[in-house]
Structure 1
Amino acid sequence: MFYTIIWYRPPLFVLLLLFCIIPIGNLPAQTSEKDSLYQQIQAYQKIKNYQKDTAYINLLYTYGRKLSYYNLDSLLIISNSSIKLSKSIGYKSGEIQGLINLGSYYSEIGEQDNAIAKFHTAKEMAEQSQDLELAFRSKNLLAIEYEYKDEYAKALNEYLEGIELAKTSKNNTWLTTFYVNTSHLYSVQEDYEQSIFFLIKATEINKQGNDDKITAMTLANLTASYIEINDLNNATKSVDESITILEKLNYTEWLTFAYELKADIYLKQQKHDEALQWFMKSEKIHVDIEQPRYKIPLYTGISKAYIGLKNYSLAKTYAENSLAIAEQLNILDNQQQNLQLLYDINKTTNNTTGALHYLEQLKKVSDTINENKNEKELRILKSTLKFDQEKERYLAENEQKVTRQKYYFYGALLAVMAALIIIFILKRNNKVQNRLNIELKKKEKHLNHANNTKSRLFSIIAHDLRGPISSFKSMFNLVGSGEISTEDFMSFTPQMSKDIDSISFTLNNLLSWGQTQMDGMVTNMEITNIKEIVDENISLLSKTAIQKSIVIHSKVEDSVLTWSDKNQISIVIRNLTSNALKFTPENGDIIIGATEKEKHWEIYVKDTGIGLSKEALNKLFKKDETFTTYGTNNEKGTGLGLVLCKEMIENNKGKIWVESTLNESTCFYFTVPKANSQIANS
């Protein structure tokens, strides 16, 4: 079972946010609390002019929150009815409640813009009427919708304002909610340690306030983060505590999620019988839940459990059910996951026709995902920049507020305190101000660096990516208008293929470098076989080598094992080899080898190229200066490759340098720790 908060709401967002409503005349048997609400509604409907009673409108709102999973159609009807009734009697709080429920309806059917509009209006009305509870709720829901649209800076702004308001009003319940949802912003960027920090902080507040329901929900969220970092021991402890509380409260809406988390832990431990038992407990509750999106991870998880038990018939049934819902909601990632399961099942059961069918569908979905991948990564990169800037801006403003508050406090004391105390306070204030100025200068430097990074990124995008893409567009327009023939167009395809390869290589470097600039790159050290990486990159670059009649020799043995991040080292070798190909004339040679040292391996990429001048050597590896030249066939790069290589090698506790003789050869060296040495130290 794999939960991603982008579409699965409960892990971090259902805190106090359930609004769906069942028709008044068709209420199924629920908990006594829900039955009591229903009975109260029936009692009000027997009273004359009950539509004008604010208590009745409030009851509809509360009733909808209790039954939010079960009937979206009724939610829409009752939301509009609440707004209409509230307007007729001038009841602002009722109108705000109706807008919140209506926004929740649009959110559940995937109309984010309409949801944002309703929540934004509700927030403004609540703030004007100084209704704190509704202001908290609408602000939180608005932030959640911004997250669904990857607008993290706007989401962060709402959460930080919510945290400040909750602290000022001493509302620990909503303070916890905003802490939990802020943790999700870090989870989106795969910063699970920071996410866990906020969740633990929220849990501590909950336990102090003895709010068992929110404690249980926060513990479930904490479990999901522990599972992401494969900390199954802590995941088990937190989910068991959550389940105990939820079962005691009979809070079935959240028990489904907690049960599935428990099953997910067993899946990771290859205990398929136990996993299936917990999945089935969740499925039993899901019978009364209308919202189909929540069934996708459940059915996928059950399918995996049955695969582990070699019951391929039931595994196929559940995977098909999950796939059908994912296709209905157009969730490509879940389609891909279930198509892969169905392909594996049919392949295992020797159903060649079925396997081929799902393989073809899998390829189509994967192609669609891959087409959008670079665009999505750039959008997240841009949003992350805004996120960091918004966070720093808030911290700076908050510190200035603290300073002003201290200033007012000290000013009041000046009127009643003696001269010596006044002098003492002034000196202390100066020290505080000096420290604040130092911190503000640091943050200003950080913000300037983020802005420079953004400007540099988009400058490269405009210069090195927009040009070739515009050329492609113009070429296709000429073909479409009939100004050139198909035969003429086909003659350009070899060059277009080179341009596409160049764009792909440039974009990968661009995204990787941008991630390092925002402190977002995580280095995952593991035992890495350098020969496998070298062979893989030689294969990837073979087309370019063949075009220039260059032979790439690998002298790396299987014994070259390092303790490093496999993906980062692959990027380094690919950049260095690509550079060697660029600056080596036709019929040249490139040698990739490794020399064993006492505690590390020294990897080198040597070419018989044009070499580098002393001026060029002095400019390499510098962050503040983009250096790039044209290759022997006029190849052009962004100048980021060697900067990226240096940062990645240093992340892997190594060094990188170059030796070159003009018009003869160039050799790049870098070191990485030996695998055996690092394991022994650990």
Structure 2
Amino acid sequence: MPNVLHIKKLNLPHIFIFIAVFTLFNAFSAYSKERLKKEIQRDIKKIQETPHFEKDTTYINLLHELIREYNQYNLDSLLIISNQTIKLSKAIKYDKGETEGYIIKGGYYSDIGEQDDAIFYFIKANLKARAINDTDLTLYSYSELAKEYMYKDEYAKSLKTFLTGIEIAKDSQNDKWLPILYINISVLYSLQKEYEQAVSFLKKALDVNERNDDQRLTGIILSNLAFSYIEIGNIENAKEPVNKAITIFEDLEQNSWLTYVYEIKGTIFLKKNEYDHALFWLNKSEVLHKNIDQTRYKIPLYLLLSKAYYGLRSNEIAASYAVKALEISKDLNNLENRDEILKILYEIKKADEDFGQALTYLEEFKAISDTINKKNNIKELSILKSNLEFEQEKEKYISDNEQKNLLQRSYIYFSILIILAFTIIIVILKRNNKIQNSLNQKLIENTHALKKNEIHLNGANNTKIRLFSIIAHDLKGPINSFKSLLDLFNNSKVSQTEFMHFMPQIGENIESIAFTLNNLLTWGQSQMNGLSTKPDFINVNTLVEDSLRLLSKQADVKSISTINKVEDHVITWSDRDQIDIVIRNLISNAVKFTRAHGTITVAAIEQNEFWQIQIKDNGVGMSEDVLTNIFSEKETSTTYGTQNEKGTGLGLRVCKEMVENNGGTIWVESEIEKGSTFYFTLPKGEKL
């Protein structure tokens, strides 16, 4: 479930951030929460008694539910359960469970201060969530990733990641995640000391959350509002939101958040030098901290307690709390608040006239102040860089829009050219129809030539059908691909850079379309008077190489290896255009029905008077029923390949006709799941 940042400090001017888990169970009493944990454990035990329980997604979901109840109290459980659920989810291909496991594991590394490891697992979760199109998990991972960039002072990355999440939440109208992202981005502005901006985003979060009526989230927003008002210096404005937040979290028994708002309340009284009242609220926070396994968050609490006791002149107690804070700070190698701790220890020892110890703390204070100042200078430079990069992003966005409009006009012109090409084809087809009508009229007038003309007309009609089929499959597919790509670009689904990556492939597709158009115009005209064959000496190796080159992109997409074993001396006496169509169609079908990482081999075997060409794949194969009718279909049909590819549309019946028209034969051998081999023969030609 979502994590929400809040700023836990509270000793100006330093800022300390930690995470509170956004649990599903907002309004349960302590008794109900304990009962809920027992119920989850009981359900887990019940599932474990069933066979193959580790393959049950319910079991994985219950483990995630259990960790949401315990993660504030036992950090080690985060790592143990996340590793278990990731392993179980992978085994049964439960993508959602695997994604949640990565987020939980990233949260563990975040809580122990290992930001690089946390970022690694949040990125894995984000990629997985987007792959399965899960909006909630996508937004969750974006939020966690942006937060981790923030921890590393990489504010530009954090800002861009948060803004990406906000755009997705707006587009998907996700009112559950939108306020959370607003809250988290307000923390980013707080870190940059832009508290007015922080207040603005918190008010946006409050407006959106009113539609959800999520009391826990309302408490989070109010507590952060109170903190921001304190930073601005408006103590009076901080009182109302912190009081409301305390009431909400006490009703919901949200202990981790109560420690935070109690410290905000105590800080307000410290600002007013009302130390007794400050101590009351800080002691309440300390009691709750005893049951929360988050040692690093005790540093600012102990510092505040030290200040309160020092204000009451209880120097010994004040020193003990400051020493505790210093020990934790050094153990965790955490510089946040270290200078404030050393400063108050110096003041306490100086007041107690322990000048030797006071001097030690003063020297350590000066040394750590120099380190912190250097770190703050680096951080301020990071903030400046973040703002500069953000402005550059906006300028780039405007420039990209202008370029996009220019490209859109170019693509419109390109589309017009494609339409003109279709118009030419339609004119040819209409002309063919007129010829057919003229022939029909002659048949009525001349009964003596009825049989001959009938056969001719049937042949012309079949040619028309084949032409339409070729147009529908060889041209319609690539042009629809262009249209889809243009639609994606026009709808800003792909960037200009991404679109330009497609330009080499578009060029090859245009070359393929131009080849097909020329073929259609020549072949279509000749077919009106029957299939005209013009044999010549042709080099089969050249035709195979050309076809493999044209189909290389389709093969590369599926990582298919293509092997041409046809040697240069394989010369046949046949029609170049027709055999080119046969070879290209058979190789295209092989690519279509071969799975990823398969192999396609083209070879030639010499016989007495013929060359036997074979195109072999190790794809899906064909059943006996399919083999029986494969060359006898009356209409060209299209089946879909292993990745839903469409065929060339020419059909094996047309290939058969062309092979036989060149004096050869064609047949196929195939076995399910082992692949197919198409054979055809062509008359030998003399060596060139």
Q: Please, what TM-score do these two structures have when normalized by structure 2?
A: 0.54
Q: Does 2:144 align with 1:141? A: yes
Quote the offset at 1:5 in angstroms.
11
Trace 1:518-537 onto structure 2 (pairs within 5 A). Answer: none
**C-alpha distance in structure 2 between counterparts of 1:140 and 1:375, whole Å:** 24
Q: Does 2:289 align with 1:286? A: yes
Quote the offset at 1:47 in angstroms.
3.1
Aligned-partner SS, 1:14 = strand
The match for 1:61 is 64
RMSD after superposition: 3.1
Trace 1:398-477 onto structure 2 (pairs within 5 A). Answer: none
Q: Does 2:22 align with 1:16? A: yes
Superimposed CA distance per residue, residues 97-116 of structure 1 (whole angstroms, 9 cap, x where no aligned partner)? 11111111111122111111
User: Of 116, 120, 123, which aligns to 1:120?
Assistant: 123
User: Of 367, 378, 394, which aligns to 2:370?
Assistant: 367
The match for 1:611 is none
Relative to structure 1, is the Cα distance of residues 371 and 164 closer, same or farther in structure 2, using a 3 angstrom cutoff?
closer
**C-alpha distance in structure 1 between counterparts of 2:283 and 2:88, whole Å:** 43
Quote the offset at 1:29 in angstroms.
10
Aligned-partner SS, 1:310 = coil
Superimposed CA distance per residue, residues 326-359 of structure 1 (whole angstroms, 9 cap, x where no aligned partner)? 1112122322111111111111111122212212
Quote the offset at 1:399 in angstroms.
12
Percent of residue pairs bearing the same amino acid type: 47
Quote the offset at 1:395 in angstroms.
8.2
The match for 1:2 is 10
Q: Does 2:241 align with 1:238? A: yes
**C-alpha distance in structure 1 between counterparts of 2:380 and 2:107, whole Å:** 28
Quote the offset at 1:273 in angstroms.
0.6
Aligned-partner SS, 2:353 = coil
Match of 1:48, as an amino acid? P
**C-alpha distance in structure 2 between counterparts of 1:395 and 1:183, whole Å:** 26
Quote the offset at 1:391 in angstroms.
5.4
User: Of 342, 350, 359, which aligns to 1:356?
Assistant: 359
> Is the contact between residue 16 and residue 336 of structure 2 (CA under 8 Å) also seen in structure 1?
no
**C-alpha distance in structure 2 between counterparts of 1:184 and 1:399, whole Å:** 34
**C-alpha distance in structure 2 between counterparts of 1:258 and 1:397, whole Å:** 45
User: Of 261, 266, 273, which aligns to 1:263?
Assistant: 266
The match for 2:111 is 108
Aligned-partner SS, 1:333 = coil
> Is the contact between residue 157 and residue 390 of structure 1 (CA under 8 Å) also seen in structure 2?
no
**C-alpha distance in structure 2 between counterparts of 1:397 and 1:18, whole Å:** 42
**C-alpha distance in structure 2 between counterparts of 1:283 and 1:29, whole Å:** 24
Superimposed CA distance per residue, residues 597-646 of structure 1 (whole angstroms, 9 cap, x where no aligned partner)? xxxxxxxxxxxxxxxxxxxxxxxxxxxxxxxxxxxxxxxxxxxxxxxxxx
**C-alpha distance in structure 2 between counterparts of 1:336 and 1:267, whole Å:** 19
Relative to structure 1, is the Cα distance of residues 3 and 66 closer, same or farther in structure 2, using a 3 angstrom cutoff?
farther
Relative to structure 1, is the Cα distance of residues 173 and 64 closer, same or farther in structure 2, using a 3 angstrom cutoff?
same
Quote the offset at 1:392 in angstroms.
5.7
Quote the offset at 1:77 in angstroms.
1.2
The match for 1:185 is 188
Quote the offset at 1:370 in angstroms.
3.7
Equivalent pairs counted in the alignment come to 396
**C-alpha distance in structure 1 between counterparts of 2:288 and 2:211, whole Å:** 31
The match for 1:307 is 310
Aligned-partner SS, 1:224 = helix
**C-alpha distance in structure 2 between counterparts of 1:169 and 1:366, whole Å:** 47
Match of 2:360, as an amino acid? H
Q: Which runs of 5+ in 1 are unaligned?
A: 20-26, 405-682
> Is the contact between residue 103 and residue 115 of structure 1 (CA under 8 Å) also seen in structure 2?
yes
**C-alpha distance in structure 2 between counterparts of 1:372 and 1:68, whole Å:** 31
Q: Does 2:278 align with 1:275? A: yes
Q: Does 2:148 align with 1:164? A: no
Quote the offset at 1:40 in angstroms.
2.9
Relative to structure 1, is the Cα distance of residues 371 and 168 closer, same or farther in structure 2, using a 3 angstrom cutoff?
closer
The match for 1:298 is 301
**C-alpha distance in structure 2 between counterparts of 1:125 and 1:398, whole Å:** 30
Q: Which runs of 5+ in 2 are unaligned?
A: 1-8, 408-688
**C-alpha distance in structure 2 between counterparts of 1:391 and 1:63, whole Å:** 43
Quote the offset at 1:89 in angstroms.
1.0
> Is the contact between residue 120 and residue 142 of structure 1 (CA under 8 Å) also seen in structure 2?
yes
**C-alpha distance in structure 2 between counterparts of 1:398 and 1:44, whole Å:** 55
Relative to structure 1, is the Cα distance of residues 209 and 31 closer, same or farther in structure 2, using a 3 angstrom cutoff?
same
> Is the contact between residue 156 and residue 387 of structure 2 (CA under 8 Å) also seen in structure 1?
yes
Quote the offset at 1:4 in angstroms.
8.3
Trace 1:378-397 onto structure 2 (pairs within 5 A). Answer: 378-390=381-393
Q: Which is worse superposed, 326-335 or 195-204?
A: 326-335
Aligned-partner SS, 1:260 = helix
The match for 1:320 is 323
Relative to structure 1, is the Cα distance of residues 168 and 397 closer, same or farther in structure 2, using a 3 angstrom cutoff?
farther
Quote the offset at 1:79 in angstroms.
1.0
Match of 1:14, as an amino acid? A
Superimposed CA distance per residue, residues 404-430 of structure 1 (whole angstroms, 9 cap, x where no aligned partner)? 9xxxxxxxxxxxxxxxxxxxxxxxxxx
> Is the contact between residue 155 and residue 382 of structure 2 (CA under 8 Å) also seen in structure 1?
no
> Is the contact between residue 75 and residue 108 of structure 2 (CA under 8 Å) also seen in structure 1?
yes
**C-alpha distance in structure 2 between counterparts of 1:142 and 1:163, whole Å:** 13
Relative to structure 1, is the Cα distance of residues 210 and 17 closer, same or farther in structure 2, using a 3 angstrom cutoff?
closer
Match of 2:183, as an amino acid? V
Quote the offset at 1:400 in angstroms.
11
